[in-house]
């Protein structure tokens, strides 16, 4: 009933998106350390950047506790299933590629390399993550391997806060962040190549659709989850042709039960018992297609790095990135084709296309 009322509010407020309802289990209650100050650009004003270091932490809200021993054997299943280390051994780690995560901000963590994250705030609440959603997404992309390994550990992150710490996200701040990325790329050397949007809604949002189309035309790859509704309808914005839509699988290669599906699904990635970074410098277990999407955003970063190496620094188009990832994918054994698109991406195959074994 609660979810039904929530959907009714979405229809009543057409400019509202929602962060997909992941389940999080905390693995620690480390005492908070005061976060050091960073620049705090406000929505509608000059969006100055702040650098985020790897040691400071902020308060964490713990939804529930879980004995980590239960899931210990699953800690590295995503890394293994997507063959991440094969790419890294070939030297393809996302170096030189920047990914924007538009979400709930970021909490400093030991898994984040110094200087790897720049922050933007489009909420007037400061760039720090007090919700946890975005920090977990970022860890999947760039964790350096202290206790988990990200898909593209040498990539850079722009953490654009569009959610002030609630489950609901207005489309306005998301549109502002995407438009900021497009304008930023016109004059900056550290161009944003990939944008991860780990949320969705059942209805169409024209302002967001326009921003995404503009970013796609500007050469930015957009990745979003298919949804956690569990039925035959991919949520917006993943339903757009310009967006790479990601569904979810389990550690046993079955379809993640809540994953929405349909012909718009492009790839599938781990979405159950995913071990990632949490608030308070902790780690969490997370379920949901919101955590599947950043696996593919990270894979896009690997593809871009490899393409640049093979093409004298030239950037691939979004369509070329999608083709690279599709060529490196294979169907998972469990889900129907409508639930996985091209299937699971093999990072080793992405890297080997540009760096043959033995040439590293």
- The set of catalytic residues is 103, 133, 290
Instruction: Give a three-class secondary structure readout of the chain.
Output: CHHHHHHHHHHHCCCEEEECCCEEEECCCCCCCCCCCCCCCCCCCCCCCEEECCCCCCCCCCCCECCHHHHHHHCCHHHHHCCHHHHHHCCCCCCCCEEEEEECCECCCCCCCCCCEEEEECCCCCCECCCCHHHHHHHHHHCECCCCECCCCCCEEEEEECCCCCCEEEHHHHHHHHHHHHHHHHHCCCCEEEEECCEEECCCCHHHHHHHHHHHHCCCEEEEECCCCCCCCCCECCCCCCEEEEEEECCCCCECCCCCCCCCEEEEEECCCEEEECCCCCEEEEECHHHHHHHHHHHHHHHHHHHHHHCCCCCCCHHHHHHHHHHCEECCCCCCHHHCCCCEECHHHHHHCCCCCCCC
């Amino acid at each position: 009933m609660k979810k039904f009322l929530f959907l009714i509010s979405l229809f009543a407020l057409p400019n509202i998106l929602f962060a997909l309802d992941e389940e999080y289990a905390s693995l620690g209650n480390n005492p908070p350390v005061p976060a050091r100050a960073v620049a705090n650009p406000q929505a509608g004003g000059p969006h100055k950047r702040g650098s985020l270091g790897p040691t400071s932490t902020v308060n964490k809200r713990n939804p529930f506790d879980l004995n980590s021993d239960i899931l210990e054997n699953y800690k590295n299943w995503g890394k293994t299933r997507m063959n991440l280390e094969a790419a890294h051994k070939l030297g393809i780690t996302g170096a030189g590629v920047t990914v924007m995560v538009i979400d709930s901000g970021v909490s400093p963590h030991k898994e984040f390399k110094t200087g790897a994250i720049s922050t933007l705030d489009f909420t007037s609440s400061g760039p720090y993550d007090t919700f946890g959603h975005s920090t977990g997404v970022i860890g999947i992309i760039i964790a350096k391997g202290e206790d988990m390994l990200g898909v593209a550990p040498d990539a850079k992150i722009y953490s654009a806060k569009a959610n002030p710490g609630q489950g609901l996200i207005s489309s306005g701040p998301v549109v502002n962040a995407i438009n900021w990325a497009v304008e930023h790329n016109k004059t900056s050397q550290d161009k944003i190549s990939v944008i991860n949007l780990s949320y969705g809604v059942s209805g169409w949002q024209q302002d967001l659709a326009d921003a995404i189309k503009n970013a796609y035309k500007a050469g930015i790859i957009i990745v979003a989850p298919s949804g956690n509704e569990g039925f035959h309808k991919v949520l917006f914005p993943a339903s757009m042709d310009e967006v790479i839509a990601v569904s979810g699988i389990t550690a046993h290669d079955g379809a993640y039960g809540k994953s929405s599906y349909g012909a718009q699904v492009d790839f599938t990635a781990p979405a159950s018992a995913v071990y990632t970074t949490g608030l308070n410098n902790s780690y969490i277990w997370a379920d949901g297609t919101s955590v599947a999407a950043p696996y593919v955003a990270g894979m896009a970063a690997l593809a871009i790095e490899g393409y640049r190496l093979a093409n004298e620094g030239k950037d691939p188009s979004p369509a070329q990135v999608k083709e690279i990832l599709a060529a490196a994918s294979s169907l998972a054994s469990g889900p129907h084709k409508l639930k996985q698109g091209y299937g699971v991406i093999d990072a080793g195959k992405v890297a080997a296309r540009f760096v043959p074994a033995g040439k590293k």
